[in-house]
Amino acid sequence: MQRALHILKSTFGYDSFRHHQAEIIEALINGQDVLTLMPTGGGKSICFQIPALIRHGAAIVISPLIALMQDQVDALNQLGIRAAFLNSTLHPEEQQLVEQELLAGAIDLLYMAPERLLTESMLRLLEQADIALFAIDEAHCVSQWGHDFRKEYQQLSMLHTRFPNVPRIALTATADARTRDEIIEQLSLQQARVFINSFDRPNIHYAIAESGNSREALWRFLTENHPDDAGIVYCLSRKSVEATAAWLQKKGRTALPYHAGLDQHLRARNQQRFLREEGVIIVATIAFGMGIDKPDVRFVAHMNLPKNIESYYQETGRAGRDGLPSNAWMSYGLKDVINLRLFTENSDASDEFKRAMLQKTDAMLGLCELTSCRRQALLAYFGEVMEQPCGNCDNCLNPPETWDATIAAQKALSCIYRTRERFGAQYIIAILTGKDDERIRRNHHDQLSTFNIGGEHSSAEWRGIFRQLIAHGYLATDTEGYGVLKLTQKAWPLLKRSETPQTVMLRKLRRPAKAQKKRSAAASSALPEALSPADQALFETLRALRSKLAKAQNVPPYVIFPDKTLTEMAMLKPTSNSQMLDISGVGETKLSRYGDAFLEAVGAAADKNH
Ligand code: ADP
Ligand code: ZN
């Protein structure tokens, strides 16, 4: 372990292990199998990278994400580690070269996809080579029930029989108890040591707000919190992806669309620009994201409700892998709530499946309408108990006010009843607010006792009330797809006032701008401690230098140095190699490659300030 700690410092530039890294590394070095669940950004890679350097032979890293292998290998090469990959993007001669290097013991880490590993020729090659360990990344891909199922993953259990003396580590960031058991079963990891970390992502600030105009709300959120940061904006449809990207472009941001309908080359190029350039916003459908390894995604914005909490957590989890403060922001409206339920109800799935889906939909809505800590609720959903409210979500920082909406709810429900449960929210609201409307007159609904009894609330407020009544289960939408509102069992006691008195507490409508904190607040700035203006300027200079160096080598900027390292440099202003080595993320290889350039930039800025 002495050696492991030394490598952590000299190669990676970090002072101490975090989570269970030390125990995992020790187990692997000792030849034990390991299963580890760590949240995104928790530092999974080091768990097998350091044993790969300590154990004899090459570590074989199995990953389904061919597109990422180049970047992963680039990042390791930057650290001075001998890493390579084998996949179909290589020419046959290049592949041969890698295979020779493997046999010659000149590679410490070799990445490949499971389908390649499972070929007989590859297995034979590996039997001739020295293998330090097998790392099975994204291990939840063995699960038939998950989104990312890969059937090749299930065949990986043969590693156990064919290489009984080589330790294996399975890693994942997304696994509930059932998936965990499946991984153990499918990969024959019954003997493995299991390390499970909290799924909490403390650096992510969660905010969810209702809005009549998501786009304007998004723009406010971006200008206040992320004027030049990289981030992801998720939209529901391809059309809205295109429109939102164009709109952000017009506003002066570099915003690129990404969805399954785009030309494959354009899609690849947009993804590449997101990874390689600074401050790019990718506007995407959920098709974007699996395996996006970019550590400095500062925000994930949802323009609609995700379909369930699992998706929400996975998508927001793409923010802040580097551990720096990041925002998960969502804006949604009444339409979303109705659409989401319709989508589920109208799907072709079996009734049992639909029921399960609807439960998930309800849990998602519940999270949105929650008035207590969002993180506590999120973690509870995944079976984790968090004792105290987190202090880093919108509800903790700015507790929502609630109001007694019993009367409003009664008016709404009664209006639906009197119009025989045949209309959608917009029409009902028009009646409640006494709108002069041709259709209402034609239906004689201006004669109803509920006509114009809701003037104390604006239409926008009524939409909020209806949305919450649906979320709280007083109202359901029809199954025909028109958004017609129906009363539920839960609605009746409220309508018949004679029964035990009921109260309905709803949250007050709040403008999204208020839900967000000012830029100086911890979560909204990309920097751990607010930099002084002079340090901020130096940070920008260092960032520009990093960009230039990255471009010259055609690698993503963060493989040169992560933001955290640049922030420390801007604050500590090192003047010597040894001071440089004290900075987190600066190891010996990077010092020899980039130390001079960054020392010079820091020095030049100091001269200018004197
Ligand atoms: P994961 O694969 O779990 O999402 P990574 O392995 O990419 O996470 O690590 C996330 C970031 O944290 C990387 O920038 C990595 O270098 C950094 N990191 C990992 N371990 C440590 C540590 N012990 N101290 C400081 N930074 C670390
Ligand atoms: Zn909270």
Residue-wise pLDDT for 560-588, tens only, equals 999 999 999 999 999 999 999 999 999 99
Ligand nearest to the CA of 386: 2
Which atom of ligand 1 lies nearest, measured to the CA of 40? 4
Is the minimum distance from the CB of 174 to ligand 1 under 6 angstroms?
no
Ligand nearest to the CA of 25: 1
Whole-Å CA distances, 492 to 135, 298, 488: 57, 46, 7
Ligand nearest to the CA of 378: 2
Q: Return the sign of the alpha-carbon dihedral for residues 458, 461, 467, 470.
A: negative
Residue position matching structure tokens 């922001």: 329
Question: Do the first three CATH levels of 2-196 and 204-397 match, i.e. the same topology?
Answer: yes
Contact indicator for 462, 454 with CB cutoff of 8 Å: yes
| Alpha-carbon 460 to chain mean position | 30
Q: Per CATH, which fold does 403-507 belong to?
A: Arc Repressor Mutant, subunit A (1.10.10)
Looking at residue 514, its pLDDT comes to 38
Looking at residue 146, its pLDDT comes to 67
pLDDT at 437 > cutoff 50: yes
Residue 530 main-chain phi, psi, to 5 deg: -60, 130
Is the minimum distance from the CB of 574 to ligand 1 under 6 angstroms?
no
pLDDT at 432 > cutoff 90: yes
Give CATH for domain 2-196: 3.40.50.300
Kindly indicate the confidence band of residue 511, based on its pLDDT and cuts at 50, 70 and 90: low
User: Exposed (0-12), middle (13-18) or buried (19+): which is 121, by Cβ within 10 Å?
Assistant: exposed
Looking at residue 103, its pLDDT comes to 97
- Span of 67-71, 176-180, 531-535, 558-562 with lowest mean pLDDT: 176-180
pLDDT tens, 166-193?
999 999 987 777 788 999 999 999 999 9
Using CA positions, which residue lies closest to atom 21 of ligand 1?
43
SS3 sequence of 332-378: ECHHHHHHHHHHHHCCCCCHHHHHHHHHHHHHHHHHHHCCCCHHHHH
**What is the Å distance from ligand 1's center to 41 Cα?**
6
Using CA positions, which residue lies closest to atom 24 of ligand 1?
14
- Span of 461-475, 481-495, 504-518 with lowest mean pLDDT: 504-518
Using CA positions, which residue lies closest to atom 12 of ligand 1?
43
Looking at residue 211, its pLDDT comes to 79
Q: Per CATH, which fold does 528-609 belong to?
A: DNA polymerase; domain 1 (1.10.150)
Contact indicator for 498, 436 with CB cutoff of 8 Å: no
Give CATH for domain 204-397: 3.40.50.300
Is the minimum distance from the CB of 320 to ligand 1 under 6 angstroms?
no
Query: Per-residue pLDDT averaged across 298-311, rounded?
Result: 91
The pick from 17, 46, 590 for probing ligand 1's pocket by mutation, whose C-beta has the most ligand atoms within 8 angstroms, reads 46
**What is the Å distance from ligand 2's center to 372 Cα?**
7
pTM strictly above 0.75:
yes
**What is the Å distance from ligand 1's center to 586 Cα?**
13
Q: Where do the structural domains in the chain lie, given as residue ranges?
A: 2-196, 204-397, 403-507, 528-609
Is the minimum distance from the CB of 43 to ligand 1 under 6 angstroms?
yes
